[in-house]
Amino acid sequence: MILRCLLAALVLGGCVQSGTSTDDPARQSASWSWALPFYFPTPKVPSDNPMSEAKFQLGRALFYDVRLSGNGQQSCASCHEQGKAFTDGRAVATGSTGEHTPRNAQNLANVAWHSTYTWANPALVTLERQMEVPLFAEHPVEMGVNDQNKATVLARFQADRDYVQRFAEVFPGEPIGFSQIIKAIATFQRGLISASSKYDQYLQGKATLSAAELRGKDLFFGEQAECFHCHGSFNFNDQVVHAGSGLTEALFHNTGLYNIDGKGGFPEPNRGLFELSGVPRDMGMFRAPSLRNVALTAPYMHDGSIATLEEALDFYAAGGREIKTGPHRGDGRLNPFKSDLIVRIQLNEQDKANIVAYLKTLTDEKFINDQRFADPRRSK
């Protein structure tokens, strides 16, 4: 794993080139074209759900439509706001009935390259499968679609002349059903590409970084701060799949956030892979999120329990977190299941400030303001 991360880091951390051209024929078809920098591989797209502009636009409309929820009160965008890099700014998300989910809403930028979805479920390997979770989950309720209201929800779209026409164009001969809705929204999400940050411009020779940002970059990709071990890919995470991928390993990590019983315990129902496997060593194992647009996606961690980038750096520099009072009291630094990559790091205040300065270069203003990704009803 470390060797793979090092290779990725050499590309992103030490190689500045110009140009964005590519000769990969998989990046273009009659109905879709991937406009990507040279260091972005072509995404992997399911063979039964190919990309097309019409499907992307249909998925975009559905993503912002509250009629897709059981009670007609919430859309996908309710928890994934474009201005916050498709997060919601809350510690944990709130479903359509007001019920809180146990976890932080995740950034949707560049989700086309994730090898698994949600915070800790290795079985969810496509956006299509992931979409079933917010749509149909009952504990907790998110969109609130269930057996009692499925027909009502579909009838809303079947009665809309514009949707009827668009579904017929994208899925000829097929009814308007949840399979088609899911494929369209997954296509929209797969097209949410963030590749125009200041750091991307720097990699392409179109921008320069300040002295503080450069020093932060060197710390990030160096062995002192070691951030690159889990965030060294072009997408700044360690779960990446693309069109040319073979069998990939899905990596999850216990970062020492909790240790409520002195035996490595995390608070229920947020115990990572352990919630599915029941295997003790899976306690507290979560997916490392992409750091693209990380300055916009606070609060941080799977439960939103760290408020700022500065606090996040303090957490990692300490090799975990000690909570001294309350129900979650315990020393996460001593968690027996903590990743070997999470150790105490010597960072002074200047080092931390420089790393934060570098992380802010990953903000993509074009991405969060691009009308192509916005609510089509508001951007007309």
Alpha helix segments (H runs only) across 82-207 = 127-136, 150-158, 161-170, 178-190, 198-203
230 carries a ligand binding annotation: yes
Burial of 212 (0-12, 13-18, 19+ CB in 10 A): middle
Burial of 56 (0-12, 13-18, 19+ CB in 10 A): buried
227 carries a ligand binding annotation: yes
Provide the Cα torsion 175, 142, 296, 108; round to 10°.
-30
Contact 110, 235 (CB under 8 A): yes
The number of CA neighbours under 13 Å toward the Cβ of 83 is: 3
H/E run at residue 76: none
98: phi > 0 → left, psi -120 to 50 → alpha, else beta; which? left
76 carries a ligand binding annotation: yes
The residue count for the chain: 380
Q: Which residues contact 211 (CB under 8 A, 6 or more apart)?
A: none
State whether residue 321 is helix, strand or coil: coil
Helices 150-158 & 161-170 angle (0-180, nearest 10):
90
Distance (Å, whole) CA 359 – CA 217:
8
Distance (Å, whole) CA 179 – CA 314:
44
Taking Cα atoms as reference points, which of 314, 321, 319, 359 lies closest to residue 341?
A: 319
Q: Are strands 330-331 and 322-323 parallel, antiparallel or unpaired?
A: antiparallel
Distance (Å, whole) CA 308 – CA 53:
37
Q: Which residue has the tokens 């606090």?
A: 311
Distance (Å, whole) CA 157 – CA 168:
12
As annotated, the binding site for heme c includes 76, 79-80, 227, 230-231
As annotated, the binding site includes 76, 79-80, 227, 230-231
